[in-house]
Amino acid sequence: MSGASGPIGNTFLRQGGGRLGIVLPGFLGGWMTAPVYYAVLALLDKGFDVLCLDSIYRDHPDITHLRYDAAAAVRAGQAAGDYGETTLVGKSLGTRAMAELLLADLVSPSTPSIWLTPLLKDIRVKMAIDRLETAGLFVIGTDDQHFDQGALGELHASGHETLILDKANHGLAIDGSAVASAEVPARIVHAVLSYAPKSLVPGHRN
């Protein structure tokens, strides 16, 4: 697979599923970090095939590269099978990539989406979320620098699903508590397993 930045490393977990998940990782983190890895496991349990991208950037990419690398992943994944549904999953920088896909109309606003530690204070992420026509799942910790209680309240009120993890940081770990940190992946798994995309009521979106 190649995009605007050149070859894009990836792992395609295929099990003959009728639905496709496309995972856009965070900056330098990759899809094997715990928050993303357990979300992937949950999608596999739900019968998805999952295309997981590697982290390919050593510097923060510009909008053009981010957008067209993500678009290349969407094209490659959808071309690999007869999938009835595509769900986008992003972590941190990956949520900005999701935003660029939505803002450029490269994916439909009705696409189900899972936002792990979304960049809620980024204006383009906010603009993209406002376009969503299908409820997304938003997962973030209260100690994340991108945490925005007001924005999350609005998302919940407008029909989106939210999982707010008390004292979790941007890596969705809880500083000073290995036990509490170890409980986070299970909560992510349960949230993804229970995530049921539904249409948002017009006029109630943000």
pLDDT of the residue at 61: 76
Backbone φ, ψ for residue 203 (5° rounding): 90, -10
pLDDT of the residue at 31: 82
pLDDT of the residue at 199: 84
Q: What CA–CA distance (Å, rounded) separates 162 from 153?
A: 9
pTM above 0.85, yes or no: yes
Amino acid present at 194: S
In sequence order, what DSSP letters do the residues of 157-199 get, joined into one string?
HTT-EEEEETTB-TTS-BTT-HHHHHHHHHHHHHHHHH----B
Contacts of 131 (CB under 8 A, 6+ apart): 102, 103, 109
pLDDT of the residue at 201: 62
Second CATH level (architecture) for the domain 2-194: 3-Layer(aba) Sandwich (3.40)
DSSP state of 134: B
Hey, where are the domains in the chain? 2-194
pLDDT of the residue at 69: 87
Rounded average pLDDT per 10-residue block, the chain, 206 residues: 74 93 87 90 96 80 85 93 94 95 95 97 96 96 96 94 97 96 96 90 54
